[in-house]
Amino acid sequence: MLPLLGSNRQPTFISQIPNPDRRDSPKMDIDPLPNGGPAAAVAAAAVAATNAPSSKLSRLAESLKLEHQLTRVPFEHLKKSMRANHRVVEKEVSAVVSAVSDAANAPGEDDAVDRLSSLVSRLQGLKRKLEEGSRTEHLQAQRCRARLDHLESADPENLSEWSNTRLKRIVVDYMLRMSYYDTAAKLAESTNIQDLVDIDVFLEAKKVIDALQNKEVGPALAWCTENKSRLKKSKSIFEFQLRLQEFVELVRAENSMRAITYARKYLAPWGSTHMKELQRVMATLAFRSNTECATYKVLFETKQWDFLVDQFRQEFCRLYGMTFEPLLNIYLQAGLSALKTPFCTEDGCTKEDPLSQECFRKLAMPLPFSKQHHSKLVCYITKELMDTENPPLVLPNGYVYSTKALEEMAKKNNGKIICPRTNFGCDYSDLVKAYIS
């Protein structure tokens, strides 16, 4: 009663399926990639070849590879503490060494003993500091390990709790980047994931950001000094930008003499590489803060401070090996694109589809639609996937539902089928099977 053809005939002729990737195939010359340029087509083909439907395990492995930030940030934090602690030791030891040389010139014996005693207590202080530093380092190293353990604990058979934690981590990251520190702390605490999020790292950024928002560059400059060698390595000009702003503020305050002294001291060293910016900002001395000249007016605008905040955030993220964008935005964007189909905006869209909601649609608007290489049919009635276990059946009017749903309907209705979308009626025996490959 059902199919016109026995399903056992399918495999025999499988070799006749035209290969869609072969452009010279006689039956088709349809471009397999309607969008993107030729480079995209080649790249897509290369990726598609390796993107076979993956097992749970490899899917999990792929998802864990996205966790670079989780492992990198605590390590950078640890590295920073180690370097800083070492610098303290070096400084102190070299001070003690030179103080010992000086002591040789002590005018009297008592004086010499005093000097040496003060060195002894200085060394004792250093030892304490060293121990303290080592304790911090130890905690930070533990955190690095905790993250690796967490990655290891992901069990492909029981992922729901792990995935929940991942979502929370991603949301905490968003809170920290958007400066919603209270929520970040609260969420981390209430779900006990403090070791998996970087609240303390971001508190360091908070100090600088708060100050910049108050139009103070002090903490930002201090931060630059702290990270001098690494900023230099990445060719950062953040410090220069801060100096420019400070200069502009002196000009705004009509403090020309101080501005010039400041420029000699702090701007001139950048002249060899950034002459243009330097010249431009020097010209503000002539134009002053009430200028209407667009080139210079913009330098006096308050949004320059917002720009500095942004700039700082970028430098900060780079230093710690974080993405510039909040993780949430990256995951949301990828997820929205993958879920976006032309059907999401139709009336019958199920509530379980995030894109049935207005706010999600709004976010997805500028994003591309998903692309799939395999048919996946969802039964309109049961919302279940139609596959070989539960194959699709076609009503005479062309509407398709799952075997399960139609069998159920026939059982309740004495073998009668009524199409829920068109009210078309027929017998169960009128249905034909459709083969979807």
Q: Which of residues 116-145 bind other proteins (CB under 8 A)?
A: 116-117, 119-120, 123-124, 126-127, 130, 134, 137, 141, 144-145
User: Measured from the CB atom, is 137 or 195 closer to other proteins?
Assistant: 137
Among 328, 409, 417, 431, binds other proteins (CB under 8 A): 328
Among 1, 30, 257, 294, binds other proteins (CB under 8 A): 30
Site for other proteins in 388-407 (CB under 8 A): 392, 394, 398-400
Question: CA–CA separation, 92 vs 98, rounded Å?
Answer: 10
Tokens of 72: 């990198």
Q: Among the residues of 270-302, which ranges form H helices?
A: 275-282, 284-287, 294-297
Looking up tokens 């997820």, which residue turns up? 335
Residue 385 DSSP SS3: strand
Question: CA–CA separation, 32 vs 322, rounded Å?
Answer: 36
Neighbours of 241 (CB within 10 A): 21
Angle, CA of 377, 382 and 388, to the nearest 5°:
45
Taking contact as CB under 8 A, which single stretch among the options 88-96, 203-211, 212-220, 236-244 is the one that binds other proteins? Answer: 88-96
**Residue 426 parent element (H or E):** strand 425-427
Amino acid letter, residue 236: S
Site for other proteins in 234-263 (CB under 8 A): none
Site for other proteins in 333-362 (CB under 8 A): 333-339, 341-344, 349-357, 359-360, 362
**Size of interface with other proteins, in residues (CB under 8 A):** 156
Nearest to 92 by CA among 121, 67, 69, 64: 121
Taking contact as CB under 8 A, which single stretch among the options 184-192, 278-286, 294-302, 307-315 is the one that binds other proteins? Answer: 184-192
Taking contact as CB under 8 A, which single stretch among the options 167-175, 195-203, 247-255, 280-288 is the one that binds other proteins? Answer: 167-175
User: Measured from the CB atom, is 35 or 273 closer to other proteins?
Assistant: 35
Among 68, 232, 264, 416, binds other proteins (CB under 8 A): 68
User: Does 371 help bind other proteins (rule: CB under 8 A)?
Assistant: yes
Question: CA–CA separation, 139 vs 137, rounded Å?
Answer: 5
Among 175, 217, 309, 409, binds other proteins (CB under 8 A): 175
